[in-house]
Amino acid sequence: MHNVGEHRSGATGVSGQAPRHRFGASPAGRLAGSFIPVLLVAAASGQAAAQDRDPMLLHDANGTTVRGHLQFGLNAVSEQNLFWNFSDTIAPGSGFDPDADWLEIYVKPGLSFETALDGGSVLYGKLSGVASYTFGTDAYDFGDTGRATLEEAYLGLRTGLGEDLSLDVSIGPRELKLGTGMLISNGGSSGFERGALKFGPRKAWEMAAIARLSAGGVTGTAFYIDPNERPASDGENELAGLDLRWDDPAGGFAGLTYVHVLESGSPYIQAAAGGVGPPTVLPGAREGTNAINLYAKTNPFDGALANWVFSADYAYEWNDEIDLDAWGGRVRAGYTFAGLPWSPMLTYTYQTFSGDDPATPELERFDPLYYEGSPSAWATGSKSSMVSINSNVQSHGLALRLQPTKQDTLTLRYSHIRANELRSPIQFGQATRVDTTGGTANVVSGVTDAHLADDVFLEYSRIINRNTFLTAGVSVSLPGDGIETTVAGDVPNWTGGFVNVVFNF
């Protein structure tokens, strides 16, 4: 199942490009954009005849299976007062329109195979691609554009090495997620010239070499990965590392990941001394960065703690070449009210990521690397995640999930978002401006009040059938004092909504 929430991850800012046609600018256009997914769902439901044979199984004989894969989706999005309408104050001559409506589409076809070899080993592989497009102009002022790119193209071998011991090796573009996705998950970039900003259909790494050794519930993974970055912003990153994970059959897990950045042209940003002045850009500073990530989740408890689930993540980063010393983490507690109708589940989440302290010569700004940026995973807020990455931010979050039926799920999410360090970059140089507090004009970066925003996001999802999934959501971001004091005048609430349908075969 593939759903889109508010946002995954990506660059931020308001560009100075001339405005383009926006899908659904008229009431008729908006109505059409809303009904397109519904009509497609109805058509798919009408054609869903029961079949005894899997239509995607193309060949199954002599120890070899060949299977087809097809996923495609449509997403209609509407946004008002994008980025709290900062463009009117910060870039009034840019022509940026803070109200936007657009339609995203993507298709992901693929072909995979498995063949049994003598001795019990299995040779396998997969080839797939992604074509995506955005009609109209999206939140980052890109539109009427898209690309077709390679997604997966790997070969692998699974073999037994003895009693309860197995080895799985593969090479080529493919997906890889480690732990809960705090650092290593989203290997592909979407949006901008590639289209499908909110969907983010690309997940595979441009190149991956993966070796997994498993014994019982313990798996050790050695990996080399090269992210599939957009050509316009390719930092030529290459990473390698190890992951050790234990999985309990009852559902809990624990693990440790080590990541080393072998090569990178990606810069880091450092706050000015004392927080006065523009931030400093450190070219290629990511190269040589090391990270350790600890993660764990409990099984459902019995007795006094019945229906409780807890999880925790912690990451520490260092780089001796640039004196990097950064950290981040998350704690989460969830409780299911099993005796109530609709099986309500309430989850509290606190997550925090260090920012660069302007009072020290060291660099403490956390690098989130390639995290999974959906609201159900590692996004800090819903709309706020479009203007800040997981660096120099913290949030308290509550999520209430209701299931009226097995096919229907309602989730209400609230996030209170704050900065960890004042006068320090939130995003890449975000909010660099002249501050006249106290009657003296100073160039500062970041915010002078920690409260950034309060985000509320209501999401509905429905399983139409085993191949068709519908998701819709509405959200609002209320600016805090940290946002409101960066510009003169009133700062409006940022609102929006979406409806999408995904077909997965």
Burial 137-156 (b: 16+ CB within 10 A, else e): bbbbbbbbbbbebbbbbbeb
Q: Is residue 58 part of a domain?
A: no
Dist CA 381 CA 396 (whole Å): 9
The number of angstroms, rounded, from the C-alpha of 408 to the middle of its chain's C-alpha atoms is 23
Inside any domain, residue 9? no
List, in order, residues 6 or more apart from 195 with CB less than 8 Å away: 104, 106, 132, 133, 134, 142, 145, 146, 147
In a domain, 374, yes or no: yes
Per the structure, the count of domains in the chain is 1
Count how many residues are written for the chain. 505
Distances in Å between the Cα of 112 and the Cα atoms of 56, 156, 203 are: 10, 11, 17
Give the other-Cβ count within 10 Å of 440's Cβ: 8
- Tell me whether residue 7 is exposed, middle or buried, using C-beta atoms within 10 angstroms of its C-beta: 0 to 12, 13 to 18, 19 or more: buried
- Is 12 contained in some domain? no
Residue 196 sits in a domain of what CATH number?
2.40.160.100
Cβ contacts of 365 within 8 Å, gap of 6 or more: 268, 269, 270, 271, 326, 354, 355, 356, 391, 392, 424, 425
C-beta neighbour count of 42 within 10 angstroms: 12
At 286, list the tokens. 């990511």
Provide the pLDDT for residue 302: 84
In a domain, 6, yes or no: no
Rounded to whole angstroms, the Cα distance separating 254 from 242 reads: 14
Tokens read off for 101: 């409506």
Burial tier of 293 (Cβ tally within 10 Å: 0-12, 13-18, 19+): buried
- Integer Cα distance of 87 and 108 in angstroms: 35
Residue 489 belongs to a domain: yes
> Which residues are CB-contacts of 326 (< 8 A; sequence separation ≥ 6)?
316, 317, 318, 353, 354, 363, 364, 365, 366, 367
Does a structural domain hold residue 84? Answer: yes
| pTM across the whole model | 0.87
Could you list the residue range(s) of the whole structural domain that residue 369 is in? Answer: 27-48+63-504
Helix (H) or strand (E) segment spanning residue 58: strand 57-61
Residue 14 counted as domain residue: no
Q: What tens-digit pLDDT sequence spans the chain (505 residues)?
A: 444 456 554 333 333 333 333 333 333 333 333 333 443 444 444 444 444 578 999 999 999 999 999 999 999 999 999 999 988 877 777 788 999 999 999 999 999 999 999 989 999 999 999 999 999 999 999 999 999 999 999 999 999 998 899 999 999 999 999 999 999 999 999 999 999 999 999 999 999 999 999 999 999 999 999 999 999 999 999 999 999 999 999 889 999 999 999 999 999 999 999 988 889 999 999 999 999 999 999 988 888 899 999 999 999 999 999 999 999 999 999 999 999 999 999 999 999 999 999 999 999 999 999 999 999 999 999 999 998 899 999 999 999 999 999 999 999 999 999 999 999 998 754 555 544 444 444 445 789 999 999 999 999 999 999 999 999 999 999 999 999 988 888 999 999 999 999 999 9
Burial class (CB within 10 angstroms; exposed 0-12, middle 13-18, buried 19+) of 122: middle
Closest CA to 7 of 181, 191, 131, 232: 191
Output the CA–CA distances (angstroms, integers) from residue 405 to 311, 342, 462, 464, 466, in the order listed.
27, 7, 9, 12, 15
CA 100/CA 391 separation, integer angstroms = 27
